[in-house]
Structure 1
């Protein structure tokens, strides 16, 4: 079978390898679509803190069942999606249902080889039927679920003022699900094309470009009170530290981004606001179900989000172009 491996930062190579042999408890899948996300871009650029090279990337994907145990509930030809966070089911987090932050989590495409391949065999408990959605949509579930999880974790309410800093795919996912909860959503980003997309395709209530007057603009939008809930989805430590200043008194700050570094803040300002600081990592089965329900009812602009496509064989040449200046990439899908 064909697969694409990231040998080292900046080096992608197409290779032929054996089709994986399904072992007991697994489902063998013919990979259909793979979404490219910020994690993959960080792996390619050498900026992913949890990874060792070489690695086959790809954790957002859909596929078709090739082979499964007869009592698994799956049959050849079933369209499926995969929860890429392989949790242990036994640790302190898993026992509380927080499988997204399992102590011994193994993420496909990060801790073990992922889906940029024609076939993949995965444990059956992480495979789910993609009922009522297309295989394109099923491959987009994961990044949307991360946004849905962050919004659920922050307990966003109708009419709350929400600021999302960072208009990449994860930030957009947070905007979508905050809007679905009835919040008033503002987006802050450095790129005018991303801000325009959020305004015209995601119907956010306001957009602000990063610049000398951005804090004044954000204050003006909120009667100088700032925001009930702030999400950071930038992957930038300076932006993460700065975001504390945009949280209203009594508000919440949720960090979706993860970076290798120290997050710092002013304790007097933190206490003065009685601020709640939250980390949001990955997603749970419940979050995937939230996204599926929204997709089935037509409330996710998935076709607009899918801005780029490429074939698996073309990934070594086409993938680096996603990073070129002027590319307005939201979600690229690889056709396997």
Structure 2
């Protein structure tokens, strides 16, 4: 993606300047909506995308609060991105008019990890909205390697969930979840809620666990058949598969105690460290998996298949769609823990 500095010196042919509104996080807790510097025409394999929706996720909130050590400032936030190609370079993979979702984690395609298909752990990965400019702008330019067309049958309100849901789809590939599986999901933010819905869709007996009663109520409203437990009610419980989506030290330690002997735990959430009960893991022959983002495009394509299924209802995951002009309230709502996914609407900004 074109960085802020690179945009300063470019003009459209004929001297026309193409300026758009963009969000800029100047430093933690200091964000503004401003008119951008000059936006270039796409060249080579690049495309210019006019943004439809941008989802606010926990990572955006962490960058906003300054708690990610490798974040750089100033930075344009945003990595859950749905838009339409409005201009295309001569070598772009997709034509003007294509509605696309964006891969927000770039990969080099050349390192040892990329060569074996593990682009999610590319040694030269950059993350949009964290250590390079993201997409919370009316328009932005990016290589067409990192976009994927969205099926026509997917409405915008479902399509904006492709990127966060792909995280869950990738994690579920590490375990076998079916009608004979008991699954506990710890943490009922967006990723956790999507994990609950996917496990339920696959026929598992699902229990959602959180410390926030409001989040448990939201899950119950979306999936009445799912059992919900406060973390303090977990004593004596055991599950074939535990999905940790809270990214908290205590929830990881709780989760390892909940895995039945011979069972598995998948870590989606991220925390710096935790106490590791080696004897418990060894004696019960537990399997622990770490799962980071997704492989592209395979996990995105599988995610689209789930979302295209009319029986898979995920729309309630989105609590609010708010105009980008209300970004301060949107970030406040997203930080409160009282809402599901908050979406910024960039149309007509």
Name which of 91, 104, 107 aligns with 2:127: 107
8 Å contact 2:24–2:34 — kept in the other structure? yes
Name which of 323, 334, 338 aligns with 1:328: 338
What SS does the corresponding residue of 1:54 show, helix, strand or coil? coil
Tell me, yes or no, if structure 1 residue 4 matches structure 2 residue 23.
yes
Structure 2 partner of 1:269: 280
**Deviation digits for residues 235-280 of structure 1, max 9, x if unmatched?**
2112212221111111111110112x22321111110111111111
Structure 2 partner of 1:222: none
Tell me, yes or no, if structure 1 residue 189 matches structure 2 residue 189.
no
Tell me, yes or no, if structure 1 residue 162 matches structure 2 residue 177.
no
Tell me, yes or no, if structure 1 residue 48 matches structure 2 residue 68.
yes
8 Å contact 1:4–1:15 — kept in the other structure? yes
8 Å contact 2:208–2:216 — kept in the other structure? yes
Structure 2 partner of 1:153: 174
Structure 1 partner of 2:252: 240
> Which aligned runs of 4 or more in structure 1 are off by greater than 6 angstroms?
none
Structure 2 partner of 1:228: 240
- Alignment RMSD: 1.7
- Tell me how far apart the structure 1 counterparts of residues 187 and 90 of structure 2 sit (CA, whole Å): 45
**Deviation digits for residues 288-316 of structure 1, max 9, x if unmatched?**
11221122122333321111122122213
Distance apart, 1:73 and its partner CA: 4.2
Structure-2 change in CA distance of 1:242 and 1:333 (3 Å): same
8 Å contact 1:61–1:140 — kept in the other structure? no
Name which of 70, 79, 99 aligns with 1:79: 99
8 Å contact 1:28–1:65 — kept in the other structure? yes
How is 1:266-305 mapped onto 2 (pairs within 5 angstroms)? 266-284=277-295, 285-305=297-317
Distance apart, 1:193 and its partner CA: 2.1
- Tell me how far apart the structure 1 counterparts of residues 43 and 143 of structure 2 sit (CA, whole Å): 9
Distance apart, 1:323 and its partner CA: 2.3
Distance apart, 1:92 and its partner CA: 2.1
8 Å contact 1:14–1:316 — kept in the other structure? no
Distance apart, 1:64 and its partner CA: 0.7
8 Å contact 1:29–1:65 — kept in the other structure? yes
What SS does the corresponding residue of 2:173 show, helix, strand or coil? helix
**Deviation digits for residues 191-218 of structure 1, max 9, x if unmatched?**
222112222313453110122x4324xx
More divergent stretch after superposition (33-42 vs 149-158): 149-158
How is 1:50-65 mapped onto 2 (pairs within 5 angstroms)? 50-65=70-85
Q: TM-score, normalised by structure 1?
A: 0.91
How is 1:18-29 mapped onto 2 (pairs within 5 angstroms)? 18-21=37-40, 22-29=42-49
More divergent stretch after superposition (301-310 vs 80-89): 301-310
- Tell me how far apart the structure 2 counterparts of residues 302 and 230 of structure 1 sit (CA, whole Å): 21
What SS does the corresponding residue of 1:106 show, helix, strand or coil? coil
